[in-house]
Each structure stands twice: as C-alpha cells, then as structure tokens.
C-alpha cells in the first residue's frame, strides 16, 4: 500500500452492518468492504447505526437501524437519515479522512450540492439499476467531469446501463470471504433444490416452483417478505403451491442446526417448502447441502450475491440469462445460464456433472474479499494521488 489512506464509509440504515444478517444485500457489501480494507491495513471507518458490528472502526450516528428493509418514509426515518448524514459529513470534515464511500442513492441525493463542491473524493457504489428518471440521470445533467463524485458499477451489465454517466469508473464486482463458506463435495449433497431471495415476482419464486414440479425435486424456498402490497399479493398467490410453511430461523436447543432443524424438514414428505428468512450462518448450510441453487430472476439484476455465495459452498447455480448472470456463472463449469423454464429443468438434471471444487475455485479467483478490496484500494489510491497533484498545481 502506497499510503495509509483513511476511508469513511457512510452506511445504509435499513439494517445494521454486521456479518450475521439474513436479508441485507447492501449492508453485507458494506461489511465486506470494511473487512477487506481492514485486512489490507487501511484505517476503515464506518458511519452506521449503533446495533452494527463492524471489523474496522465504528462511528455511531443513530442508536438503531430501521430493522425493516423497506417501510414507509416516516418523519422519524427522515430525521434519522438527516442526523446520520450530518454526523457523517461532520466526521469527514475533521481533516483526517481521504475518501468518503457511499452506497445509498437517496443519501447521495441529499448531499448532491455538497458533492460537487467537496474537496474530499466521494466514491459511490452503484447498487441500483439505472432508471430513465432516476437520481443518477438527474445528477448527470449537472455533474462536471471535474466534480469529486466517482461512480463504481458492480457489473459490466450495470456499466452499460449507466452509459454516459460522468465519472463512471471501472467495474468492481462484489466479493465475499470465501473461507467463511462451508464446502461440500458431491457425496455429501442432499437431493433438494434451493432458492433464496426476497419474495417478489422479480425473483421468480413461482418459476422455481414450476421447475421443481417438472423435475420432481424437493424445493426449499427462503427469503423475507417486505411490507409491500405487490410482494404480499405475490406471496398469497405463491402459497397455493407451497406444501409446508415453517420457520427455519427460530431458536433451538443444541448446537447442530442440520440435525435439529434441517433434517426434520428434509425428512418430511412435502415437496415445496418455504422456510422464511434465515440468517447468514444458516443460509450457508442450506446452500452447502443443496444439489443446486435456482436463480430464476425476472429482471436485470446488477449483481446477485446469491450466485457467488452458492458457488463458494460448492453448489452450482442454474439461472436465467438476465442482468449480470452471464458474467458471474461459467456456463457448464459452475452452473448453467438458461433462457426458459424448460431449459432450467434440463440443466437441473445435468447439475451432477458440475464439480463442486470448480465452483469454489471460481469464486475464490474472481469474487473474493481480497479481490474486491484490492480494486477499491487501487481506486482510492488513484483518486487521492490525483487530488494531491491538483493541490500542488494550484499552489
């Protein structure tokens, strides 16, 4: 590392920043970046809620996260958001921070005017897709190439979506701590399919059920149901095809989750089983023992953490050819990229041909914590060097 750069991440507030989350994709990325930077020797500071548990240095702005990943924008939440941003920016102005790293489009919009004038480079990871009238499009009409805001797409697919965005940087794929994901070979796999994600039409759980019925395989569905009218309506319809609803995240006595919780579910005679939202440690076990993970998305997802989490456990993924899927899965090597339900059915039958070790190696090589943190490190170093050079010229 060329210089001891100090990075301040301004975290999202929907859920705390910690490693044991169930659903919390952006929060998981914030945690992973912090851990990766810390392991590289950076002084990594995360402005976040008090119920967070980060690896680097925690800077608490509000006492508790919102808990719900999506809810109505109440006055209390607005006040907390304002307090969080104000305290974060005050911390950045103390003079020791080299880089501000943001993740929330709404927060970025809050500080939009300040972004343009900021003497501190601001890196913004583009977690959300581009929209015709979205905030990034609006900013692009005002941002100059000389502004201090730098945008990082998380996939080539997303980079193309944001074509023309001022100060768009090279793609940095998400990374995970592969060693924290348990690995299973062919011989210890169970004969079930796994699908995890927010319960919503975009994630295609109805398609996963269709595949399970056509293959005759058992299907384990996991994921949270947000308090959105369309999502709840989708789940009500989905329930008609579900044979068993159970809570696989409830407390239990003893330390063997597989024997006490998973095995009784898998020993049942039910085919389509919904197990609710499960935390990080438990979802890894469901990945680990599955024959394959289904990813039948119905939209162009910028990056699917599910893909790399499953492959890290040695479990191939069968996914529709949408969004970033083709650049994450090696077709025929770590899973299958398909175009229809019928194709997915055939791919499920072929999953036994996939070597679990190839899945894990692929993630370790391309989507590790070290790989992601290293790319952000190089970006930070370049931005700080450019800023230093500009300051010398102005003198």
Return all residues near 175 (Cβ < 8 A) that are at least 6 apart.
Answer: 32, 36, 308, 367, 368, 369, 370, 371, 372, 373
Q: Where are the chain's structural domains?
A: 6-175+368-394, 179-366
CA 114, distance to chain mean position in Å, is 27
Over the stretch 296-342, which tens digit does the pLDDT of each residue have? 999 999 999 999 999 999 999 999 999 999 999 999 999 999 999 99
Ordered alpha helix ranges (H), the chain? 25-39, 75-92, 105-110, 112-117, 135-140, 156-161, 205-215, 229-238, 257, 263-266, 280-289, 305-312, 325-328, 341-350, 356-366, 369-394
Q: Which residue has the tokens 């450019």?
A: 386
Over the stretch 88-131, which tens digit does the pLDDT of each residue have? 988 988 889 999 999 987 777 766 655 556 668 899 999 887 77
Q: Which residue has the tokens 């990080």?
A: 280
Q: How far is CA 292 from CA 240, 243, 266, 279, 307, in A?
A: 24, 20, 15, 19, 11
CATH architecture of 179-366: 3-Layer(aba) Sandwich (3.40)
Q: Answer yes or no: is pLDDT of 184 > 60.
A: yes
Task: Give the pLDDT band (50/70/90) at residue 70.
Answer: low
Q: Is the dihedral of CA 226, 49, 30, 117 positive or negative?
A: positive
DSSP H or E run through 141: none
As a whole number of angstroms, the distance between CA 54 and CA 30 comes to 9
For residue 355, what is the DSSP state? -
Return all residues near 277 (Cβ < 8 A) that are at least 6 apart.
Answer: 22, 23, 222, 223, 224, 249
DSSP β-bridge partners for residue 123: 101, 150
Same fold, 6-175+368-394 and 179-366: yes
State which fold the 6-175+368-394 domain adopts: Rossmann fold (3.40.50)
41 in Cβ contact with 59 (< 8 Å): no
Over the stretch 348-377, which tens digit does the pLDDT of each residue have? 999 999 999 999 999 999 999 999 999 999
228 in Cβ contact with 236 (< 8 Å): no
Is this structure's pTM higher than 0.85?
yes
């Amino acid at each position: 590392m060329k210089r001891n750069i100090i990075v301040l991440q301004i975290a999202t507030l929907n859920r705390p920043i910690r490693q044991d989350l169930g659903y919390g994709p952006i929060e998981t990325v914030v945690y992973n970046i912090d851990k990766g930077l810390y392991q590289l020797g950076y002084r990594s500071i995360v402005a976040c809620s008090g119920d967070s548990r980060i690896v680097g240095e925690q800077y608490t702005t509000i006492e508790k996260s919102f808990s719900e990943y999506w809810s109505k924008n109440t006055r209390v939440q607005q006040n907390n958001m304002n307090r969080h941003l104000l305290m974060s920016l005050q911390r950045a102005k103390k003079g020791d921070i080299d880089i501000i790293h943001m993740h929330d489009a709404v927060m970025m919009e809050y500080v939009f005017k300040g972004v343009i004038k900021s003497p501190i480079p601001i890196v913004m990871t583009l977690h959300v897709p581009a929209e015709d009238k979205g905030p990034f499009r609006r900013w692009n009409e005002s941002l100059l190439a000389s502004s201090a805001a730098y945008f990082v797409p998380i996939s080539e697919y997303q980079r193309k979506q944001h074509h023309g965005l001022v100060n768009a940087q090279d793609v940095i794929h998400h990374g995970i701590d592969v060693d924290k994901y348990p690995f299973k070979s062919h011989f210890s796999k169970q004969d079930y399919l796994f699908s995890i994600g927010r319960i919503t039409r975009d994630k295609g759980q109805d398609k996963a059920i269709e595949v399970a019925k056509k293959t005759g395989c058992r299907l384990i569905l996991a994921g949270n149901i947000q308090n959105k009218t369309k999502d709840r309506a989708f789940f009500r319809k989905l329930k008609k095809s579900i044979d068993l609803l159970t809570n696989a995240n409830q407390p239990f006595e003893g330390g063997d989750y597989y024997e006490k919780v998973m095995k009784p579910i898998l020993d049942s005679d039910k085919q389509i089983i919904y197990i609710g939202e499960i935390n990080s440690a438990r979802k890894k076990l469901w990945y680990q023992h599955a024959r394959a993970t289904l990813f039948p998305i119905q939209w162009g997802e910028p990056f699917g953490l599910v893909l790399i989490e499953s492959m890290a456990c040695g479990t191939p993924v069968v996914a529709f050819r949408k969004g970033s899927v083709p650049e994450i899965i090696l077709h025929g090597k770590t899973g299958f990229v398909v175009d229809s339900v019928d194709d997915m059915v055939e791919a499920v039958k072929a999953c036994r041909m996939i070597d679990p070790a190839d899945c894990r190696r692929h993630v370790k090589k391309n989507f590790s914590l070290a790989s992601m943190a290293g790319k952000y490190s190089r970006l930070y170093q370049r931005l700080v060097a450019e800023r230093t050079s500009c300051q010398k010229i102005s003198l």
